[in-house]
C-alpha cells in the first residue's frame, strides 16, 4: 500500500512536509499537556468559586481522565477503521467546543460533565495523532526520534501549562479552560492543510465494539469510585464497588474473545514488552498525578502559596521537555529502551522519597531536588515507554496499540488521584488543622512511592536474559 502520509519514511531525513505534519501533531499533544496541567494548578480557585469538597474537586480531574481512558480504546480503533486524519480533525473540533463550554460552567456538576466530554474527545484525537506518527515514520531511529520529540513536546506542554495555569488562574480560573479552546482552534486551522489526506486500505468489517467500550469504561469508573469512596464508605460498600469493577473487566475479556470485531484483539497482549510497558505506564502515571495533586494542595492550601508561585515551584519538572528529544535518544541508542525506562522509574522513586521531609516551613531549595529529579525521570521513562508499546505492532493496529498505552496512562492517573485523595481524607478525618493536613500529605506520598517502585520492578523483569532452552 502506498500512501502520501508514509513519504517521510522513504528518506533518511525528514522532509519539510514531514516536519509540518509532526509540528501539528506535537501541537495537539502539547494542547493535551497544558490542558491537564493548567487545570491542576487552578483547582483551589475552582474549589473556592464553586464550593467543591475535596472529593468533588478530585472529580474535576478524574472526570476528564475517565472519559479519556475509558474511551481511548474505541477511539484508537475508530482511527484504524475510519481514517486517522478524519478522526483527529473531527474530535479536535469537539474538544474545542466542550473546552469553551466548561469555561462557562456555573456549577460543579456542569464543569465535571464538560471535563468528561472533553476527555472523550481527547480519547479519539490522541491515539489518532500518535498512530499518524507511527505509520508515517520508518520503524527504528527515525520513528524513535519523532516519538521522543513528540513526548518531549507533551512534557513541554505540561511544564508550560503549570506556569500559564498559575498566571491565568490568578486572573480568573475560567481562562484556564478558554485558553485550550483557543489553541485547539489554531491547531485545527493548521492541521487541515498540513496533515495530508491519504487513501487508506480499510478492513471490510468496520464495526466498532460499542458493548466492549461501554463495559471497559464502566469498569474503570467503578474501580476508581471504589478507591475514592474507601475513605467515606464502609468496607463492605468499597469491596462491592471494586468487585463490580473487576467483574466488568472479566466481562470485557469475554466480550472481546467472542466479538467478530473486538475493540482490543487479545493477541496483542501476548507481547511481553507491550504488557510491561502498559503496566509500567499505568503505575508511572498514577505515581506522577498522585504526587502532583499532593504537592499542589500542600503548597497552596497548607503553605498559602499563590497559583503562580506553585506553578514556578514545579517548573523544574519541565526539564524533560529539553532532555526528552536531546539526551534520551542518545541513551536509548546506547543502552536500549528497557534499561533507560528502568533508570527513569528508579529516579522517580528517588524524587518522591526526597519530598517526604516536607514541613510547615520547608524552603523551596529543599524541594527543588524532587522537582528536577522528577523531570529527568519523566524524560527517561515516558518516551521510551511509548516506543516499546508500539514497536513491532502491525500498521492496521497502531491506533489501538497507542490507545492501549494511553488508556493505561489515564487509568493510572485516575487511580493515583483517587488513592491519594482517599489517604488524605482518611488521615485528616477529625483533624482539619495544619498539623493534620501535613500528616495527610506525608502519608499520601506512600501512594506515588509504592506505585513507582512497582513500576520499576515490572520493567526490570524485562531485563532478565532469556535462557537458551535448546
Average pLDDT, integer, range 319-342: 88
Check if 15-195 and 268-463 are the same fold: yes
Q: Does residue 468 surpass a pLDDT of 70?
A: no
- Decide which of 3.40.50.10860, 2.30.30.100, 1.20.1250.20, 3.40.50.720 is the CATH code for 15-195: 1.20.1250.20
Task: Please report, for the chain, the start and end positions of each structural domain, with discontinuous segments joined by +.
Answer: 15-195, 268-463
CA-based nearest residue to 57, from 37, 69, 39? 39
CATH level 2 (architecture), domain 268-463:
Up-down Bundle (1.20)
Q: Which of 128-137, 191-200, 338-347 has the highest mean pLDDT?
A: 338-347
Average pLDDT, integer, range 120-125: 89
Report the alpha-carbon distance of residue 104 to residue 459 in Å, rounded: 43
Task: Give the pLDDT band (50/70/90) at residue 465.
Answer: low
Longest CA pairwise span in the chain (Å): 69
**How confident is the model at residue 200, as a pLDDT?**
55
pLDDT digits (tens, 9 = 90+) for 318-329: 888 788 888 888
pLDDT digits (tens, 9 = 90+) for 41-62: 788 888 888 887 776 777 787 7
pLDDT digits (tens, 9 = 90+) for 370-389: 999 999 998 899 889 988 98
Amino acid at each position: 500500500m502506498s500512501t502520501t502520509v508514509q513519504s517521510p519514511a522513504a528518506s533518511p531525513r525528514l522532509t519539510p512536509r514531514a516536519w509540518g505534519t509532526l509540528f501539528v501533531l506535537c501541537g495537539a499533544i502539547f494542547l493535551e499537556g497544558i490542558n491537564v496541567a493548567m487545570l491542576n494548578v487552578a483547582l483551589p480557585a475552582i474549589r473556592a468559586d464553586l464550593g467543591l469538597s475535596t472529593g468533588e474537586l478530585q472529580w474535576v480531574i478524574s472526570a476528564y481522565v475517565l472519559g479519556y481512558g475509558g474511551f481511548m480504546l474505541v477511539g484508537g480503533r475508530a482511527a484504524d477503521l475510519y481514517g486517522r486524519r478524519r478522526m483527529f480533525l473531527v474530535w479536535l473540533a469537539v474538544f474545542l467546543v466542550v473546552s469553551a463550554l466548561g469555561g462557562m460552567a456555573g456549577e460543579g456538576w456542569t464543569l465535571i460533565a464538560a471535563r468528561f466530554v472533553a476527555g472523550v474527545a481527547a480519547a479519539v484525537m490522541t491515539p489518532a495523532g500518535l498512530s499518524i506518527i507511527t505509520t508515517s515514520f520508518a520503524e527504528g531511529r527515525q520513528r524513535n526520534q519523532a516519538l521522543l520529540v513528540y513526548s518531549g513536546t507533551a512534557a513541554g506542554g505540561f511544564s508550560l501549562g503549570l506556569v500559564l495555569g498559575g498566571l491565568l488562574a490568578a486572573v480568573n480560573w475560567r481562562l484556564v479552560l478558554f485558553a485550550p479552546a483557543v489553541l485547539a482552534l489554531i491547531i485545527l486551522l493548521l492541521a487541515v492543510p498540513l496533515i495530508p489526506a491519504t487513501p487508506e486500505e480499510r478492513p471490510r468489517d468496520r464495526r466498532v465494539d460499542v458493548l466492549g467500550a461501554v463495559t471497559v469504561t464502566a469498569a474503570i469508573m467503578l474501580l476508581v469510585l471504589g478507591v475514592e469512596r474507601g475513605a467515606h464508605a464502609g468496607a463492605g460498600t468499597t469491596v462491592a464497588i471494586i468487585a463490580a469493577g473487576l467483574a466488568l473487566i472479566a466481562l470485557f475479556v469475554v466480550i472481546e474473545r467472542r466479538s467478530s470485531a473486538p475493540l482490543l484483539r487479545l493477541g496483542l497482549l501476548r507481547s511481553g514488552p507491550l504488557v510491561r510497558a502498559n503496566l509500567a505506564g499505568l503505575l508511572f502515571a498514577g505515581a506522577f498525578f498522585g504526587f502532583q495533586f499532593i504537592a499542589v494542595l500542600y503548597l497552596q492550601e497548607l503553605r498559602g502559596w499563590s497559583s503562580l508561585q506553585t506553578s514556578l515551584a514545579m517548573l523544574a519538572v519541565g526539564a524533560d521537555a529539553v532532555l526528552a528529544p536531546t539526551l534520551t535518544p542518545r541513551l536509548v541508542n546506547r543502552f536500549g529502551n528497557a534499561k533507560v525506562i528502568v533508570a527513569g522509574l528508579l529516579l522517580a522513586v528517588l524524587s518522591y522519597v526526597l519530598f517526604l521531609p516536607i514541613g510547615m516551613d520547608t524552603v523551596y531549595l529543599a524541594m527543588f531536588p524532587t522537582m528536577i529529579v522528577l523531570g529527568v525521570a519523566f524524560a527517561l521513562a515516558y518516551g521510551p515507554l511509548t516506543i516499546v508499546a508500539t514497536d513491532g505492532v502491525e500498521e492496521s493496529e497502531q491506533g489501538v496499540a497507542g490507545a492501549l498505552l494511553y488508556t493505561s496512562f489515564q487509568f493510572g492517573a485516575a487511580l493515583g488521584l483517587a488513592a491519594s485523595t482517599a489517604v488524605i481524607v482518611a488521615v485528616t478525618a477529625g483533624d482539619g488543622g495544619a498539623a493534620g493536613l501535613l500528616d495527610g500529605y506525608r502519608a499520601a506520598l506512600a501512594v506515588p512511592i509504592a506505585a513507582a517502585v512497582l513500576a520499576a520492578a515490572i520493567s526490570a523483569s524485562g531485563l532478565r536474559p532469556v535462557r537458551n532452552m535448546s
